[in-house]
Amino acid sequence: EQTPGVVFRIEEKLEIAKRYLLPRQEKENGLREKELILGDKGLLSLIQEYTREAGVRQIERELGKLARKVARKIAAGETQSIKATKKIIRELMGRPRVHPERMALVDTVGVATGMFYTPMGGDIMFVEVSTMSGKGGLVLTGQLGDVMKESGRAALSFAKSNHQQLGIPADSLKGKEIHIHVPAGAVPKDGPSAGITMATALISTLCGHKVRKDIAMTGELTLTGRVLPIGGVKEKLLGAVRAGIHTIIIPKANEVDLEDLKEEVRKKITVHLV
């Protein structure tokens, strides 16, 4: 996995946009004070639904588009000012272009929540596992890279070799084909950090136990059950919090990375080290 650069939290983006980006775009597009009224809710809507990035450049571009559309309406005499609510922003900017993942609605057998890092920041992902009649094969889908596919194979080997300790019925894999799928197939995914998520979803399917929807996890899993450290912990945790998840499982070796989080974020989450 790549080492992340600077990633702003949503609260930080909101403050930067309010203090610097919006005033600059109002000035550049000839808008006077009070001609564009954009409160926190409207601005947050624009950030979350029209941009997906680690920094703030795209936010400024979208604010520029909004300011130009407002300026044209005022110049045309259609209005003297516009209060840009979430509804008005959609009318001016079109339908939202970003649809971030949110915490699952219910606890489900065979579905676990993982976390991943991209240059746009952290986010959550779901790992789904199902079994069907077959010759004992393993199918991996969701545009997964080679390393992530290896994580799926390692998770299966771990479950098989430890089936007694894990409470997996000995005959649960006989004559069964296993399918591991990571949704959002248009997005390439790779890296070893989904190991424990894949293992959790797999064991859940084989045991018939539901996985809690309010827990997200990340960590590389070895064949002997060790959980190895991974990268991008800060960004992944921020992505989980943004998705509404506050209980997190990370490798014990990544405990030091929690120091990168602001105190206000650390107070919101419960972290389990494994």
* From 13, 189, 213, 236, active-site residue: 236
Q: Which residue has the tokens 């390692």?
A: 154
Phi/psi of residue 181, nearest 5 degrees: -130, 135
| CA–CA dist 162, 203 (Å, integer) | 10
Contact 95, 138 (CB under 8 A): no
The residues with which 129 forms a beta bridge, in sequence order, are 180
Helices (H) and strands (E) in the chain, counts: 10, 13
Identify whether 193 is a catalytic site residue: yes
Catalytic, out of 45, 193, 204, 213: 193
Residues 6+ positions from 225 with CB-CB distance below 8 Å: 158, 162
For the record, the structure tokens of 57 come out as 């450049």
CA distance 225 to 3: 25
Angle at 56 between CA 52 and CA 58, to 5 degrees: 55
Distances (CA, A) of 70 to 15, 47, 102, 171: 22, 18, 32, 66
Give every CB contact of residue 87 below 8 A, 6+ residues apart in sequence: none
45 is catalytic: no
Catalytic residue numbers, as ranges: 193, 236
